[in-house]
Structure 1
Amino acid sequence: MKNIAKITIAAAIALISATGAFAQEFTNGTVKKVDEKAKKVTLIHEELKSLEMPAMTMVFQVGDEALLEKLKVGAKVQFVAERVNGKLTVTQVK
């Protein structure tokens, strides 16, 4: 009976840890330039911990055209960037 409890607790801890690993982290940034035709945005951003990237200004692909409407030059945004097919891509904006 004690072994079942230990296994259950270990499984719960593993599940919680795995869920945390998939949580997407939003990063603060400022929109510097939007290129709607190329579906790209230039952001001045804080450190991207999930991508092990320091704070800098860089160009990202935009995964969804609807996100482009949320990106206006000078706007302060929170965003998620991921590697999609080898390219740094903004996948979420709020």
Structure 2
Amino acid sequence: MNASKVAAAALALSLALSSASAFAQAAMASGEVRKIDEAAGKITLKHGPIKSLDMEDEMTMVFRVQDPAMLKQVKVGDKVNFDAERAPAGITITKIQKGK
């Protein structure tokens, strides 16, 4: 391959990865931390729609967290983005990060 084909391939790969990242970010739900219960491994979030769970209404809910260490990443009042899934023990946060 010549240099221009390599550069074009690298650019295409870069664009594909960045759009996949943007899609993943858009799929996350957003909310605000209202309460953290480290002993129980739970977090209370005021959140908007959670499309992955077909939840369209805004509400405040208590969630379990998949990994209790997640609770150390955030504090009450933080804006967050998160992923959640239905589990036998209830709706569980599988990923959480501070929002912007």
TM-score (norm 1): 0.70
Deviation string 1:24-44 (CA, Å, 9 cap, x unpaired) is: 821110000000000000000
Root-mean-square deviation over aligned CA pairs:
1.5
Query: Could you list the runs of 4 or more consecutive aligned residues of structure 1 that deviate by over 6 angstroms after TM superposition?
Result: none
Gaps of 5+ in 1: 1-22
Deviation (angstroms), 1:86:
4.8
Gaps of 5+ in 2: 1-23
Q: Distance in 1 between matches of 2:74 and 2:45?
A: 10
Identical residues among aligned pairs (%): 50
CA separation of 1:39 and 1:86: change in aligned 2, threshold 3 A? closer
Structure with the bigger percentage of helix:
2
Q: Could you say which residue in structure 2 is the equivalent of 1:42?
A: 44
TM-score (norm 2): 0.67
Within a 5 Å distance, the mapping from 1:21-32 to structure 2 comes to: 25-32=27-34
Q: Distance in 1 between matches of 2:80 and 2:44?
A: 12
Q: Distance in 2 between matches of 1:86 and 1:62?
A: 10
Q: Which residue type is aligned with residue 82 of structure 2?
A: F
